[in-house]
């Protein structure tokens, strides 16, 4: 029973870290940033591209962190004799893999958006 309690505490901790430290969450946005300002100039688009490129790096870092966490958890919770997987390790690996996959998808979306804004900036600069 103790192992299950530890696994649930780790699961809650991982979720809390993602929610509190993850990039781009609305809770981190100031009232001034909530005012929507659409980019109109090449400089605006370049600034947005840079912002999205920063998010790409943050999300990829988040994904790597959770892949490393899954690997570390697997090492510290070995399989049982006879090759039976440790169910707690399996649960945590799936949990961390889901977060890593979600972060990678967010990184890909941010990357595509940065490319769009760089293209719009180039068009506005006459290129």
Number of residues assigned to the chain: 127
Alpha-carbon torsion, ordered 105, 107, 111, 116, to 10 deg: 60
Band of pLDDT at residue 12, cut at 50, 70 and 90: very low
Whether the model pTM is above 0.75: no
Question: Could you read off the pLDDT of 59-71 as tens digits, one per residue?
Answer: 999 999 999 999 9
| C-alpha to C-alpha distance for 110 and 22, rounded to whole angstroms | 14
Band of pLDDT at residue 36, cut at 50, 70 and 90: confident
| C-alpha to C-alpha distance for 8 and 115, rounded to whole angstroms | 40
- In the three-class reduction of DSSP (H, G, I as helix; E, B as strand; rest coil), residue 126 is classed as coil
């Amino acid at each position: 029973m103790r192992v299950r309690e530890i696994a649930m505490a780790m699961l809650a901790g991982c979720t809390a870290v993602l929610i509190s430290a993850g990039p781009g969450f609305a809770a981190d946005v100031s009232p001034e940033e909530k005012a929507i300002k659409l980019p109109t100039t090449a400089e605006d688009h370049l600034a947005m591209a840079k912002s999205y490129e920063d998010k790409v790096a943050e999300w990829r870092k988040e994904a790597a962190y959770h892949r490393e966490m899954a690997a570390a958890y697997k090492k510290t919770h070995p399989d049982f004799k006879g090759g039976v997987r440790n169910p707690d390790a399996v649960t945590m690996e799936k949990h961390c893999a889901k977060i890593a996959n979600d972060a990678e998808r967010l990184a890909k979306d941010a990357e595509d958006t940065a490319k769009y804004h760089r293209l719009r900036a180039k068009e506005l600069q006459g290129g």
